[in-house]
Amino acid sequence: MANDRLTVAVLGPGGVGGLLAALLARAGHRVICLAGDETARALAADGIRVRSEHFGDFTARVEADTELREPVDACLIAVKATVLDAALERVPAKALGDAGLVVPFLNGVEHPATLRERYRPEQVAPAVIRVESARVAPGLIEHGSPFAEVDLTGDTVPRERLDALAGALEWAGVRVQVKDDEAATLWAKMSFLAPFALLTTRYGVPLGDVCTLHREELVALVEETAAVSRASGAPVDPAAALARYDAFPPGAKSSMQRDAETGRTLELDAIGGALLRAAERFGVPVPVASGLVRELAGTADN
Ligand SMILES: NC(=O)c1ccc[n+]([C@@H]2O[C@H](COP(=O)([O-])OP(=O)(O)OC[C@H]3O[C@@H](n4cnc5c(N)ncnc54)[C@H](OP(=O)(O)O)[C@@H]3O)[C@@H](O)[C@H]2O)c1
Is residue 144 in contact with ligand 1, taking CB distance under 6 Å?
no
**CA 213 from chain center: how many Å?**
28
* Three-class DSSP category at 53: coil
Cα(105) to centroid(ligand 1), Å: 9
Report pLDDT digits (tens) over 205-231: 999 999 999 999 999 999 999 999 999
Burial (0-12, 13-18, 19+ Cβ within 10 Å), 154: buried
What integer pLDDT is reported at residue 302 of this predicted model? 42
d(CA 91, CA 87) in angstroms, rounded, equals 8
Report pLDDT digits (tens) over 176-188: 999 999 999 999 9
Is residue 136 in contact with ligand 1, taking CB distance under 6 Å?
no
Atom 30, ligand 1: which residue's CA is nearest? 87
**CA 248 from chain center: how many Å?**
19
The 149-152 sheet, strands edge to edge:
127-130, 149-152, 175-178
The atom of ligand 1 lying closest to the CA of 145 is: 3
Burial (0-12, 13-18, 19+ Cβ within 10 Å), 83: exposed
Per the prediction, the chain carries an average pLDDT of: 96
d(CA 134, CA 98) in angstroms, rounded, equals 32
Cα(283) to centroid(ligand 1), Å: 33
Q: Could you tell me which residues come within 8 angstroms of residue 1 by beta carbon, excluding any fewer than 6 positions away?
A: 163, 166, 167, 170, 171
Atom 37, ligand 1: which residue's CA is nearest? 12
Domains contained in the chain, CATH given = 7-180 (3.40.50.720), 184-301 (1.10.1040.10)
Cα(128) to centroid(ligand 1), Å: 14
User: In 10 A of CB 252, how many CB atoms?
Assistant: 15
Report pLDDT digits (tens) over 232-271: 999 999 999 999 999 999 999 999 999 999 999 999 999 9
Q: Report pTM.
A: 0.96
Atom 39, ligand 1: which residue's CA is nearest? 138
Is residue 129 in contact with ligand 1, taking CB distance under 6 Å?
yes
The atom of ligand 1 lying closest to the CA of 18 is: 43
What integer pLDDT is reported at residue 7 of this predicted model? 97
Buried b (16+ CB within 10 A) or exposed e, 179-200: beebbbbbbbbbbbbbbbbbbb
Range scoring the smallest mean pLDDT among 2-6, 64-68, 145-149, 215-219: 2-6
Give residue 32's identity as a one-letter amino acid code. Answer: I
DSSP state of 271: I
